[in-house]
Amino acid sequence: MRMPPLFRAAAAALLCAAAAAAPAPPAPTTPPESRFDVHLSGVAALQHLHVHPPAAPPAANATVGGLPVAAHAALRALDVHEGDLLIGANDAAIPALPLQAWLEALSKGGGRGGGSAGVFPLVEVTAGGEGGGGGGARMRVTGFLKAEVIPLQHARAVFRPAGKHRQELEAAANKQASAAAAQLNAEQERIRAQAQAIADAKQRELEEETRKRREAQEKAEREKADAHAKAAAKAAAAASAAAAARTAQEKRARGEGFVYTVEFKEAGPMGITFDLANTTAVIGDVARGSAAATLGIRAGDQLVEVNGVDTSGMGPERAGREVMRAEWPRRLSLTVPEVEKPASPRDMELVILQPLLVRGVYALRAPNDWGADLPLAAVDNDSDGDGGGGGGGAVCSGVSVLVTDPDSGCATVQQAVSLAGGNFTAQADLSGGAVVIVRRGSCPFVDKASNVQTLLGGAAAAAAGARSAVVVANTDNELVDMPAGNLPTAGITIPVAMMRKEDSFGLEQVLGVGMPCTGLLAAPGRCAAPSLPRPERGADGKPVRNRPATDVGGRLAVVSARGAREFDWHLALYGPHAPNGTVVNVVVASPSDACDAEALMVRVRGSFVIAERGVCSFSMKTLALQKAGALGMILTNNAATTLRMMAPEEEDKRTCCTAPEEEAKQARIPSAMASSALGAWAEAHARLGGVALARFFYEDYYGAYG
């Protein structure tokens, strides 16, 4: 066994010291079996520890050796005396054997080694020394060498890897470090995800609470708004019903004829009976206190429609059956006949001869105490070439009907009053007079009449043969007096009269699109508008055909800046009748199918709408336009013919063209069909733009106009 150099030096020193002859040290004062420990670190004056070589070799069975201590003043202070044996240090004994022998004994498992650990003094041999008695050789201890043998069973060896093994260990360490880092990252990500999930859950919970609060608030607001709307609708309906009842009562008192509609909401006795002696469905009696009496139905009124079914041509028994089989709620439309009354000296009529769109007789009323009387109208049995008179009066010749600019007939600082309308020019011959329409408002009635009279040539306007007049268009549908106030009226030498708003609308619109208009003022019943002759052949050259008794339709006249046209039309078998003889605004639907109220790109409220056939059912178009506020629908066919748009009732299943029954029952506006010729006209009008007007005429023949 090889030993480190330090071990070899220490062992050699000890062996040499043991072999040297030296005087025996003094006998120790401490019993051999006793021992005591001294902490040398606390002795500041101790620089060296001197010992004597052992006097004799240790006994054969000794395990612990010892070195006699040389006297030293510092040691004596620690109660260490000359000759005391140094037997160990730091809890390890000085073996009895030299270092080499001790190591060999331990390696062989011998028992004299003194244990697996030993302390060997590191000494220098000197001669003499402090306090020495005898001056023999001494050894100076400079430190201790502690040796310990560790059995393999208890050893923890340390190796340094090299080569491929080192690379493998480094790779494994790196892999382990990466795995640990990945695990750490995964754990951190899991913690972050968990924290985010908790935050998201809190956010969702907060949003859900906010949504619930908002929905609850919106629901409360809707319920409140619905309650207000229902209350307002109920109040409005009550007010409307009361107003309608008052209007109907006033019209009845004046003897006017009109149409009204009532609704029986709940099933039960209605309280009406029909006059069986009459050929039409005239109410014979209304039970006192009944639902019919509450709704304002009176004896003598004629039933013309039940839930959209036309009963105007039915007798009392058939109309009664129609009422009984109608579903609830039942909507009844009735007409009140006009009561003939003697004409007042202040009553007049405006007879419009041309154009066809506004041809007719319109009621007027003159002021009570001013304005000229009507001149005698010249009678011409066929002055306009339309062929004969009729309607209770002669066909009279007319003059130009004009309007003023501004339409009020009132002069302002910025604008003087001038004549306009139709194809009027400043060079037009007004020697025969003219009927001038002005709107009510902006200045007194007398000023309007004076301004128009001046425009017509002053006193010449009242010359013999001249038939000039001023017609004031009222702002409502009443004919009232036009007081002069304190203004002088002696200079007004032409007739002045008032016209209802609903009658003046068509005239003003026709004149606005440049259509010439002729007419005159006359006493009631004195003159009549020319009747409409029945053509022998239609636009296609075929003979005009009689309309079946169950068919409803006639002539549709339209006017725009492009001129005037006429077309055949058929009324649908659902919804109410089209207005008879009333001028209405017309617009062309965009998109042309008019299937969706929300998709319409033109304003249709207050107008009849021309739509194309196709894409959706007839009644769907009607309901879409009804929702958008239209007055009615004119559907153009995809062929040069017309037909009646029908709902699938039992008697109509033979037809080709039906509308869903539930949709048809909801129709509250009239629907009519015209041929593809109207579609071509509508397409051209849509490109040109401007105002378009229409009027429905009911006729007992069809196929005349295309």
Following CA atoms 594, 599, 603, 609 in sequence, which dihedral angle do they give, to the nearest 10 degrees? Answer: 0
pLDDT tens digits for range 21-66? 334 444 444 454 567 777 776 665 566 678 888 777 777 777 777 8
Tell whether the model's pLDDT for residue 573 goes beyond 60.
yes
The CATH code belonging to domain 347-522 is 3.50.30.30
Tell whether the model's pLDDT for residue 424 goes beyond 90.
no
Cα Rg of the chain (Å, integer): 65
pLDDT given at position 464: 45
Q: Would you state the CATH architecture of domain 259-336?
A: Roll (2.30)
H helix and E strand count, the chain? 11, 30
Under the banding of pLDDT at 50, 70 and 90, the label for residue 132 is very low
Under the banding of pLDDT at 50, 70 and 90, the label for residue 387 is very low
Domain positions in the chain are 5-154, 161-254, 259-336, 347-522, 545-702
Look up residue 513 and give its two tokens: 């699109």
pLDDT tens digits for range 205-216? 999 999 999 999
Indicate left, alpha or beta for 385 from its phi (over 0: left) and psi (-120 to 50: alpha).
left
Instruction: Find out whether 671 and 552 touch, Cβ atoms under 8 Å.
Output: no
Tell me the three state secondary structure of residue 46.
coil
Between 133-137, 213-217, 450-454, 548-552, the lowest mean confidence (pLDDT) is in 133-137
The Cα–Cα gap between 530 and 377 comes to 16
Q: Do domains 259-336 and 545-702 have the same CATH topology?
A: no
The CATH code belonging to domain 545-702 is 3.50.30.30
Q: Is the peptide bond before 406 cis (omega within 30 degrees of 0)?
A: yes
pLDDT tens digits for range 522-557? 888 888 777 777 888 777 778 888 888 777 888 888
Tell whether the model's pLDDT for residue 182 goes beyond 90.
yes
Look up residue 425 and give its two tokens: 């020019």
CA angle, 40 as apex, 34 and 42 as ends, to 5°? 125
CA angle, 692 as apex, 691 and 698 as ends, to 5°? 155
Q: What is the DSSP string of 557-579?
A: EEEETTEEEEEEEEE-SSS-PPP
* Those residues with Cβ within 8 angstroms of residue 516's Cβ, 6 or more apart along the chain or in another chain: 354, 355, 400, 422, 423
Tell me the three state secondary structure of residue 303.
strand
pLDDT over 70 percentage in the chain: 81
Under the banding of pLDDT at 50, 70 and 90, the label for residue 649 is very low
Which of the two residues, 43 and 224, has the higher pLDDT score?
224
pLDDT given at position 92: 82
* 8-state DSSP, 487: S
pLDDT tens digits for range 304-340? 999 999 998 888 898 999 999 999 999 999 999 887 6
pLDDT tens digits for range 256-277? 888 888 899 888 889 899 988 8
The amino acid that residue 179 corresponds to is A
* Those residues with Cβ within 8 angstroms of residue 324's Cβ, 6 or more apart along the chain or in another chain: none
pLDDT given at position 110: 54
